[in-house]
Structure 1
Amino acid sequence: NLYWQGARSFWIHNTGPIGCLPYSVIFKPAEDGEIDEVGCIQSHNEVAQEFNHKLKQLVSKLRKELPLAALTYVDIYSAKYALISQATNL
């Protein structure tokens, strides 16, 4: 365990919008109504969001259990989804 060996700073990032990955969109075509306004597979992104929610809860729990640790939670999902949704404006 890194914490017990002296590590105190941790960067924890969530998962990105997997429903927007080219593999998801090209090789796993969705049913009608499964594509969101950006062109991503909605059900895949919902799974990613649920994972991210649980991860954030775990980080909150770890902050209490490891009081000397600096846990930085980084929201990669929101950053990537914002970039994807604005891609035509770049």
Structure 2
Amino acid sequence: MNEKFTYLFNGVSHTDVSREYMNNLGMSTEQVNSVLAQRDFELSQNIEKRKAAYREESDPLYMEWQYDQAPESEQHWRDKVVEIKQRYPVATDE
């Protein structure tokens, strides 16, 4: 469900957004900066999507766990949080 950021260069799809990789492809500084700006924009959109998913999907599970304190409820809630984070990544160290 997690969609990795991709971009096209010379008709080929790429996922590596390191400057070194893009420079080795022959991309200009402007092209590299454009790809990075697009990636950052898409990640910023995921912040709002993640917040909405927490409200709609994981918060009710958290409340259920707080009510019954069952280990199964806690795990269900924690699993949902991990799923949401994978679905809507918001940061990268690249």
Q: Specify the TM-score bucket, using the shorter chain as the normaliser.
A: 0.3 to 0.5
Larger helix proportion, structure 1 or 2? 2
Q: Computing the radius of gyration over CA atoms, which structure comes out larger, 1 or 2?
A: 2
Bigger relative contact order, structure 1 or 2 (CA pairs below 8 A, ≥6 apart): 1
Larger strand proportion, structure 1 or 2? 1
TM superposition score normalised by structure 2: 0.39
